[in-house]
Amino acid sequence: DWPGVAALPERPAAVPQRVWTARLAALLECVPCDTRRMADIGCDHGILSLAAAASGRAQDVIAVDASSSAAMGAHRRLAALHSLDLRRRVELRIGDGATVVMPSDEVDVVVLAGLGTDTMDKVLGELRQRGALDHLVRAILSPPLPHAAAARACAAQHGLFVTHESVLIERGIIHVALCCDSVDSSGVDGANCEAEHLLDVQLGRLLRHSSIAATNPLIPAVVRARAAHAIAGGANEDGALLLAEALRLEAVFDGGNGARWMAAPAPKETKGLEFEQWGSSEEEGIDVCGIGARVDE
């Protein structure tokens, strides 16, 4: 446990342990406890959709995926549930998320995880144009770290405010989870504006200007990784600035607590950043280094 790092929600009993991951837990934490109807667009096998309903965070869930094979996997998972009530509360739809979610659904939370930022922008734009987001309270965006700045810009373009950010690592790839709300409660000036400072671009103003940036052990690793990528791309000045910030954060953070991580440049075929564990961890195989900035604590 690190100072300022929020605990992730427990796995709902209806979700098998073998499919529960740190990223799913972080995404579930982003779902408000009073959600009336959530649309999980690009739901894959429907695990987050099931978790949101089973945990009681969402009264009803619309699970959407364009892939028929993914939808069939989600259907089998739902059909195996013993709870008829839970099966009734998760509705599966096959097709483009921008067209199969209707204005009459009155969704108040939309999840876009594992999608490219261009797709996020397209889905949000078409849903809003069709009036399907008239009741929206929160959009939850979860891109790999290199696309985080584009996701923040996407949220701003659609009039949403980043009020909570999470940083986590799963299967060697760093992801962020952005809570993008219709009302700004971040308390950080310019949290949704186009970032001018390089560090704001790489971390986002919400994380960078939060005290948790100095207590979450993943933050220095994030900055160091981006420094490596900048230098590898020939941007030596940017890389030097990022590396200096990573060293500053590492000096502040007590490296003896839990896992520490060393960044390595990602191969071209990967979407995120590759990491190798080089420190010790109290729990073998730990795949999350905590939650970033929270404004509701």
Q: End-to-end CA distance of the chain, in Å?
A: 17
Q: What is the pTM of this model?
A: 0.74
pLDDT of 222 > 80? The answer is: no
> How much is the pLDDT for 171?
73
> How much is the pLDDT for 296?
34
Average pLDDT score, the chain: 76
Instruction: Decide: 64 and 126 in contact? Cβ < 8 Å.
Output: no
Strands 35-41 and 161-170: unpaired
Residue 181 β-bridge partners: 138, 161
The arithmetic mean of pLDDT across residues 224-245, rounded, is 85
Distance, CA of 249 to CA of 253 (rounded, Å) = 6
The arithmetic mean of pLDDT across residues 110-128, rounded, is 94
- Find the angle CA(143)-CA(66)-CA(116) to the nearest 5 degrees: 20
Higher pLDDT, 224 or 127: 127
Strands 261-264 and 173-181: unpaired
> How much is the pLDDT for 84?
78
pLDDT tens digits, 191-205: 665 555 677 766 777
pLDDT tens digits, 58-97: 999 999 998 888 778 888 877 777 677 888 999 999 998 8
> How much is the pLDDT for 71?
76
